[in-house]
Structure 1
Amino acid sequence: MRQRYELVRTLLPPCKVERLLEIGYGSGIFLPELSKYANELFGADVHPHPRDVAVALDACGVTAKLTSADASALPYSDQQFDIVVSVSSLEFITDLRAACGEIARVLKPSGSLIVVTPASSPLLDFGLWLLTRQSAKRDFNGRRESVIPTLQQHFEIEQAIHYPKGVGALMPLYRALRLRPHLPPEH
């Protein structure tokens, strides 16, 4: 977990932004750290427990406006967010193309999308199976391989980093990207 947060932190701007949205906030584990980078913090996740997560965050002194929503139909206004963060969640979205369109819609033209996603490697997949008996092929159904190409239909990659450093470029566990929305064509 810590490594993924460090990847996000490396890609965040040095100063606070007005509004930050986390897609796939889950238990809210990253929200306390993300709150340091935004005046207003938002979260969208498909699970039906935003109130429970908000109560837990409130106990930690973190205020976040959480909602139960699918990333392919976000309940936010156009160009509402300065930063959208997604950590290990895009690869689980069935209609990733629609979700990317929605993220581009709610992100300000000057905003950034920060994504951390697991890499795809037969060797790593075999290691996962040995350690956990989980099948990456079954769990992700090829979506890991489609995350970056689908993102590039809506966004331009500004910066890419891998974890772990060094061998990560050859066989990364995670890829982290900072992306900007494609600018609409001028008339």
Structure 2
Amino acid sequence: MKKDIGAVLGLYPTPLVVVGAMVEGRANWMLVGHVGIIGHDRILLSAVKAHHTNKGIRENKVLSVNIVTEEILPGATYIGKVSGKRTDKSAAFDFTQGKTGAPLLSASPLTMECSVEDNYETGTFDNFILKIESTFAEENILNDEGKIDYRKLKPILFEMPTYEYVATGEVLGKCLDFAEGYEKK
């Protein structure tokens, strides 16, 4: 018997990312745990409207989404603790600027440069619908076919109810192989 625990979001953990955007002429960084896939070339980024970085995203319509790994977790956590309204976070990470002008975090092994297609506002959240313009990956996280190997990347996941980080990397097997021999009982 299942217990009704209310309207609780039960889709965690989600990938932890550092979002980069230009705000008032300088790079600013925001730690985000609310991201999702809405198509093969579109993602959704959800952030509280009051965040300083949101201002730059709304104005410039471009940003970077940088996957957090264990190596960059201390810096990512730092930029998640301080506000860009009171702290200049532009020097928190080395970065380059992409074709769109978005700051791309150099330390992240996987970065997506994105443009904003729309903003679906709900209550206190901006929900940016993003088109992926370019994806940059370090060669050491790619497999022999040039695709991202998540066993090598090992992205950090964010678990909301407990505010914990979860390590990844273990592979259970090929997706459709698990149905082999299954019969409903």
Q: Which has the higher contact order (CA 8 A, sep 6+)?
A: 2
Specify the TM-score bucket, using the shorter chain as the normaliser. Answer: under 0.3
Larger helix fraction of residues: 1
TM-score (ref. length: structure 1): 0.21
Structure number with larger C-alpha Rg: 2
Higher strand share: 2
TM-score of the pair, normalised by structure 2: 0.21
